[in-house]
Chains A and B, each alone.
Chain A
């Protein structure tokens, strides 16, 4: 009997944000498609190789209607990579994934045919970002099924993080209650991020892109205050009292 020595390699997961064009269809869709055609008339194929997200917050569409709309856009050489603002489409395998927390930049006009031919893809650069807060404070418990994502910095939770809840921070994570769900610190690629919690019962602990699951946590450390950090590509955990 042979046994395969399986060196557990930590999988790498990194979050990254990109720019995409957001289309916001307005009811009635038929008229909106006509307007789109009129705009595309001037620069055909402009969106052919560009990422487009569909913001459905202005319309109420069933999954099948969304599929139909996406097919209509594909006929126009527009490929939809994600959907925004339409709750309840999660789990619909045929639809693109749901996007959240999109931030608007300025809108732009389609380039005129002449300029489009001469200088393709000159999109206005995003405006210089305003200084943003680097920490997020949550005073309530984070409940099962809720997901708190703050790529810009640290997250502090005063309550507990329930089983099945998820905290994703670009910086460190501080939980002053029990941490029962998933905590992902340093999600934007910060190996110096740490996780601190008053009571560790977590389902998953990750820093940068290295993770530990509940089975990897030593019994002697569970249900105690703990600190989790990254050292040489390994997630380390130690008690804090």
Chain B
């Protein structure tokens, strides 16, 4: 059965788009049929991270307004044949999204795909609430710092009140994805620890993605980090998170500083 996921955070710049692309690619590599949907109308990025920016002809808004059919707007990834992108419009804004239009698009995607991953814009306004509206489950992306954690807390509250599932009296399943985790800075108390974040948000943990240059390197070449260097620390963490999403029990590894130094030495030697 199709699963609609929303990747959301409240705060901007925490890694929603990176995580959407990385998890989408990881799930697609496992053989599932995946579509990633960019809800950041007006400030789209997902096309760039997937390296599909030059192939965008029609977008989500065109489909909602009936200018194009859904299959015309879906872009198939060049590396993975079962990964698709539904891009956002760059020239419009979030007001162009309509409640019915989004509902129809999600319903049609549910018939075609195993996973529908909605990349939410930052904020708690129309774009973000429509992105989460039809979600079965949510991935809350959080950096281990206070402002990001508080914004995530706010988003979790909205997931429990503003989604279609919540209005039917059901619960949106929630997963916490901690990104940009730096073990050294956490050990020195410059960052919240994993335990602090979990204690504040009381939400089950899906994965811990370590801070890494690999993420920037991958996005610069328009490739999800899980495809660019599948053996890098962030890619492995995303692959584990994707397997947990599918219900597998995988032990959670908290990246440690000694491991980080080892990786750095290793990385240098390889380069």
Contact call B202/A144, Cβ cutoff below 8 A: no
Residues in B with CB closer than 8 Å to A86 are none
Q: Given A162-B150, A163-B150, decide whether A143 and B200 contact each other with a Cβ distance below 8 A.
A: no
Query: Does B53 make an interface contact (CB < 8 A)?
Result: no
Query: Does B157 make an interface contact (CB < 8 A)?
Result: yes
Interface of A is mostly: loop
Query: Does A145 make an interface contact (CB < 8 A)?
Result: yes
Which residues 182-213 in A have Cβ within 8 Å of B in the complex? Answer: none
Contact call B202/A145, Cβ cutoff below 8 A: no
A-B Cβ contacts below 8 A, count: 39
Residues in B with CB closer than 8 Å to A178 are 199-200
Contact call A144/B160, Cβ cutoff below 8 A: no
In the complex the two chains form, what is the Cα distance from A165 to B160 in whole Å? Answer: 15
In the complex the two chains form, what is the Cα distance from A163 to B199 in whole Å? Answer: 13
Q: Given A163-B150, A164-B150, decide whether A145 and B157 contact each other with a Cβ distance below 8 A.
A: yes
The size of the chain A interface, using a CB distance under 8 A, is 15
In the complex the two chains form, what is the Cα distance from A202 to B228 in whole Å? Answer: 45
Contact call B151/A143, Cβ cutoff below 8 A: no
Distance (whole angstroms) from the CB of B97 to the closest CB of chain A: 14
Distance (whole angstroms) from the CB of A146 to the closest CB of chain B: 5
In the complex the two chains form, what is the Cα distance from A162 to B150 in whole Å? Answer: 8
In the complex the two chains form, what is the Cα distance from A140 to B202 in whole Å? Answer: 10
Residues of B within 8 A of A (CB): 124, 146, 150-151, 153-154, 156-158, 160, 199-200, 202
In the complex the two chains form, what is the Cα distance from A150 to B150 in whole Å? Answer: 24
Contact call B153/A164, Cβ cutoff below 8 A: yes
Residues in B with CB closer than 8 Å to A142 are 157
Residues in A with CB closer than 8 Å to B200 are 160, 162-163, 178, 180
Chain A window 130-150, contacts with chain B (Cβ cutoff 8 Å), 1 for yes, 0 for no: 000000000011111110000
In the complex the two chains form, what is the Cα distance from A163 to B153 in whole Å? Answer: 8
Query: Does A159 make an interface contact (CB < 8 A)?
Result: yes
Residues in A with CB closer than 8 Å to B146 are 163
Residues in A with CB closer than 8 Å to B151 are 144
Using CB atoms, name the residue of chain B closest to A164: B150
In the complex the two chains form, what is the Cα distance from A94 to B99 in whole Å? Answer: 27
Residues in A with CB closer than 8 Å to B153 are 143-145, 162-165
Distance (whole angstroms) from the CB of B170 to the closest CB of chain A: 14
Residues in B with CB closer than 8 Å to A163 are 146, 150, 153, 200
In the complex the two chains form, what is the Cα distance from A178 to B149 in whole Å? Answer: 15
Distance (whole angstroms) from the CB of B137 to the closest CB of chain A: 18
Top 3 closest A-B pairs, CB basis? Answer: A143-B157, A144-B153, A144-B154
